[in-house]
Every structure is written in C-alpha cells, then in structure tokens.
Amino acid sequence: MDQQLAEGLARQALLFLDNATFRAAQKDHALHVEGLVKEFTERELTWPEHIDNVVALCMRIAGVLELPDDKRELLRRAAIVHDIGLLDFPKVDIGPVGGPVDHVGRGAARLEQMPLWAEVAPIVRDHHERMDGSGPLGLSGFALGLPARILALAEYIETVTNPASPWNTRSAAQVVAELQDPKDQRFDQRVVAAFLAGVPGAG
C-alpha cells in the first residue's frame, strides 16, 4: 500500500473518525481551497489561464511518463494551487521578475496548515527549483520529487511563451530549441523529453 495512503488511514484511525466525519472534513478542506482559488482568480494574481494551462501541461507530461493515478492526482492538485502564496502579496508587488521571491514558501506554508493538502506543500515549495541547483532554495537533482520537476518545467514553459505573461520572452520554437540544447540542464531531461514528445516535430 502506498505509504502516504497508509499514513492517512492510520491517522484517521487514530482520530477515531468514522468515514462520514472524515468525508465531511475532506469536503471542508476542499471548500477552503476552493475559496482560496476563487480569491486568487478574482484578484487576477496571474495572467488569465496561467493556472489552467499549467495544469493541462502537467497532465500531458504525466500522461507521457505514465505516472500512476495517485501521483497524477497529487500533481494536478499541486498545479492548481502552485502560486497560491501570491495571496500574501498585494498585486502591485508581483513583478517585474519572477514574482515575490517567497511566494513558493508562503504557498507551501498555507498548505501545510491543511492536513488534507499538506502532501501537496513540498511540490509547491519546490516548483521554482532547478535540477542544476540554480533555483531560489538551491535544491537540485533528485532531491526534487518528480511532481515538482514536472511542475517546474510546465510553469516555465507557460510563463515564457504566453503573450499575456509579463515574462513572455520566447516563441514556441525558441523554447523548444532552448530545451533541446544539451547545455541546458535546468530541468529533468526525462521530463523535457516527455514534453517534447507531445510537440509536433520536436520529439
């Protein structure tokens, strides 16, 4: 059995929660997160469709990599809330480069407070990290989990290619060429290959 699932069940047993109570708590957390996402969308803390595009791209890469369903679901949830830490900043502070430095830490801290979302927190915390250690926390290589490595690439591609993004600096062809360059070691090469496999003429 998946270790996280086993731990979840053990915790549930420890708290003597019957299934109905547990499901109600789960619904509370879902509603809480829904409220945060609604506020995030209403305040327009990112350009339109950033989150949807990142979720879709993550799912496409996860499909190519044949991630098991539980990992895929974890990644999907992380992608939905990956920039939720921006809620802690006034919109005017977002930019010009990369957004407020600690929106990843703030986002992870918020999620850690919610037991049913805590497992997503490390992915959110690591989504600006790079395989070569050039990210803000300096984590590198396989210290980063696969979901975080997928989210990092998906967010990067969306951010630099979406004309609505303030960091739109690349055409689609340029970002493909950049990722195909063997000198570029910022991202997990297996994840890059999975992304390129879905790009006509690049795989």
Q: Take residue 118 and report the two structure tokens written for it.
A: 């805590």
By beta-carbon proximity to Fe ion, the closer residue of 155 and 188 is 155
Q: Take residue 98 and report the two structure tokens written for it.
A: 């990369």
By beta-carbon proximity to Fe ion, the closer residue of 25 and 94 is 94
Q: How far is the CB of 166 from Fe ion (least distance, A)?
A: 12
User: Environment class of residue 200 by beta-carbon count within 10 Å: exposed (0-12), middle (13-18) or buried (19+)?
Assistant: exposed
By beta-carbon proximity to Fe ion, the closer residue of 22 and 47 is 47
Position among 83, 126, 129, 188 found at the interface with Fe ion (CB under 5 A): 83
Q: How far is the CB of 46 from Fe ion (least distance, A)?
A: 6
Look at residue 197 and give its three-state secondary structure. helix
Q: Take residue 187 and report the two structure tokens written for it.
A: 């991202």
Q: How far apart are CA 32 and CA 38, in angstroms?
A: 10
By beta-carbon proximity to Fe ion, the closer residue of 72 and 127 is 127
Cα torsion 66, 71, 197, 192: sign: negative
Look at residue 95 and give its three-state secondary structure. coil
Look at residue 48 and give its three-state secondary structure. coil
Q: How far is the CB of 98 from Fe ion (least distance, A)?
A: 8
Q: How far is the CB of 83 from Fe ion (least distance, A)?
A: 4
Q: How far is the CB of 188 from Fe ion (least distance, A)?
A: 17
Only one of the segments 62-70, 130-138, 152-160, 167-175 lies at the binding site for Fe ion (rule: CB under 5 A); that segment is 152-160
Position among 40, 155, 156, 188 found at the interface with Fe ion (CB under 5 A): 155
Binding site for Fe ion (CB under 5 A): 83, 155
